[in-house]
Chain A
């Protein structure tokens, strides 16, 4: 019984860190730009597919693919912000959301055209493809790797935002756009930079997902984006600390739900989201407005 519980916990933590890797970029973009980006799921998908392709071109070098793949998606993110998203910041919410939704439709079909509508099997990562025995049961090594990568990305993000010059400017623009602009910050350029960086994080999450989820399908962004939304919401819209904690809660909840009440595991996720929104709309760490 104890072994089983430990394994449920580990699976939950891995799942939580996996969602965090995708959701951190979404949170960052929302925190600064105040736009909830539906296309983030599409960037995740593109990241996964690009990494997959580069991986096979470079003779199965997973790490090289992981570096180059997300950079290509960054270029797409740049074009999207510079030529489209920039012009809708001042518009009503439906227009912003639907603009990003339009990109979901476009990218989904482009992926179908480029890689085919069927699903692609995932390659093995050398050194991480096996499993290790924990308390007498096997646990996938790659899940352990994800569990390590999540906090690492969180730490790097925290250091970048709190300890560097660029991070200070980003925080300034996020808390008061007009004041930042008045003291000489080039806010439009900053927004483009943050969006591209967030896109890179999403695509990186996609690249790391390749061995974790196992199958690549053209609609794979649609399910992860909703989980990422849940995380962003329960963390407090725009709070990275909250999103990290939210990912852990979501991962544990879904793995315990799958283990004990499998019929309602999806239901639990959305109950959590609704309860947090109703009881504490500013999230775990958000500030009441």
Chain B
């Protein structure tokens, strides 16, 4: 019985999301889409951070690659949204391959600093190549042409395209995590030396995780460009790279659904705080402090630990 509870919950979430798409107003639609885009970004990112144990500060670059790839494709090649998303993801994968090739030579703080350097290189290109990227204005006027015959121009129609990609992401990430590949990644996180003694090419696996997470960052970026109908050069800035880290941490690094729960908390909390006060960063910083000082498992980590304790009464809990 217990095994089916997560699937049941995900089915329920799917139904709620469908309901939101069919019956709610523009504001809730927009907010839900933002949550889903951030979830896609963070789900992919957590494959690298939570699963493989590598902290990247450059994933905003791949998000921006997705955004700009999609927008350039729309402006210069074809308005077809699927082709645009494909172009965005391809550009992100290409960038992740090149950057990842260099970055996976190091781990820990060196890896974080290398990804920061490469990420900021992409930012400086986006910022300075005005003729291609529009510089600090970004690219504007990204429209939404019909997708496979379905109109997606209105938010209530575009919502379902985002929902489909979100569901696809959840499914793919779930498959990756439960595959042999995903288990090897967790093994590398726990003990890279032992994994390499077992004949695993640690560097290659890290690169694969890097590229996959980059691809999902690109997917989130290309959908975001369509949602906002423009691109923002600061989506490549390192401060944007911190977002998926925060989201994963709030939800729980070692859990599958952590990034999704974290995204909901992040976006909704920000809306609520901004409604009543201007200084949302202050409150968010305090929340972050509380989580790091006292609740390092994150929201989902806490909930899972609670149920695990009920199932195994005598001190059998796993790592927090």
Task: Given A93-B109, A237-B109, answer yes or no on A102-B114 (Cβ-Cβ < 8 Å).
Answer: no
Interchain CA distance A222-B241 in the complex, whole Å: 13
- Whole-angstrom distance between the alpha carbons of A91 and B116 in the complex? 21
Pick the contact of B124: A88, A101, A105, A267 (CB < 8 A). A267
Query: Contact: B282 with A106, CB < 8 Å?
Result: yes
**Which of B21-29, B100-108, B215-223 binds A?**
B100-108
A95-B130 Cα distance, complex, nearest whole Å: 37
Encode contact with A along B24-54: 1 for CB under 8 Å, 0 otherwise: 0000000000000000000000000100000
Measured in the bound complex, the distance between the Cα atoms of B237 and A270 in whole Å is 13
With A108-B281, A113-B279, A226-B120: A274-B127 Cβ-Cβ less than 8 Å = no
Residue A161 is within 8 A (CB to CB) of chain B in the complex: no
Evaluate contact between B296 and A277: CB separation under 8 angstroms. Answer: no
Most buried by A among B110, B285, B288, B293: B285
Knowing A94-B55, A108-B281, A110-B282 are in contact, say whether A274-B292 is a contact too (CB < 8 A).
no
Mostly, the B contact residues are helix
A71-B241 Cα distance, complex, nearest whole Å:
33
Interface string of A266-280 (1 = CB under 8 A from B): 110011011001100
For chain B, the bracket of interface size reads 35 or more
Q: Which single member of A97, A263, A281 contacts B128 (CB below 8 Å)?
A: A263
Stretch at the interface among B9-17, B171-179, B198-206, B245-253: B245-253
- Contact indicator B127/A105 (Cβ below 8 Å): no
**A36 touches B (CB below 8 Å):** yes
Q: A105-B284, A264-B124, A264-B128 are in contact. Are A277 and B245 (CB under 8 A)?
A: no
B80–chain A nearest beta-carbon distance, Å? 32
Complex contact B114–A103 (CB within 8 A)? no
**CB-based contact B245/A274 at 8 Å:** no
Contact status A84-B293, CB under 8 Å: yes
Contact of A266 among B102, B127, B289, B293 (CB under 8 A): B127
Kindly state whether residue B238 has any CB partner on chain A within 8 Å: yes
Asked whether A87 is an interface residue with its Cβ less than 8 Å from the other chain, the reply is yes
Q: Number of residue pairs across A and B with beta carbons under 8 Å?
A: 107
List the A side residues contacting B114 at CB < 8 Å. 274, 277-278
Q: A97 touching B112 by the CB < 8 A rule? A: yes
Q: Bits for B143-186, please: 1 = Cβ < 8 Å to A, else 0.
A: 00000000000000000000000000000000000000000000
**Known pairs A267-B125, A274-B117, A277-B117; A105 contacts B109 (CB<8 A):** no
Q: Is A195 an interface residue (CB 8 A)?
A: no
Q: Classify the secondary structure of A's interface with B.
A: helix
CB–CB B288/A105 < 8 A? yes
In the complex, A237→B114 CA distance in Å? 13
Contacts of B289 on A, CB cut-off 8 Å? Answer: 84, 99, 102-103, 106
Q: B49, B239, B285, B293: which contacts A106 (Cβ < 8 A)? A: B285
Task: Looking at the assembled complex, report how far the CB atom of A25 sits from the nearest CB atom of chain B, in whole angstroms.
Answer: 18
Is the beta-carbon distance between B281 and A278 smaller than 8 angstroms? no
- Contacts A226-B116, A267-B125 aside, 20 further interface pairs with beta carbons under 8 A come to A36-B109, A94-B55, A94-B249, A95-B296, A101-B242, A102-B285, A102-B289, A102-B292, A105-B285, A109-B279, A109-B280, A109-B285, A229-B113, A266-B123, A266-B127, A267-B128, A270-B120, A274-B117, A277-B110, A278-B105
Interface set of A (CB-CB < 8 Å, partner B)? 36, 84, 87-88, 91, 93-95, 97-99, 101-106, 108-110, 112-113, 222, 226, 229-230, 233, 237, 263-264, 266-267, 270-271, 273-274, 277-278, 281
A-B contact list, 24 entries, CB within 8 Å: A36-B109, A84-B289, A91-B296, A94-B49, A99-B288, A99-B293, A102-B285, A105-B281, A105-B288, A106-B285, A110-B282, A112-B279, A226-B116, A226-B238, A229-B113, A233-B113, A267-B124, A267-B128, A270-B118, A270-B121, A274-B102, A277-B110, A278-B105, A278-B114
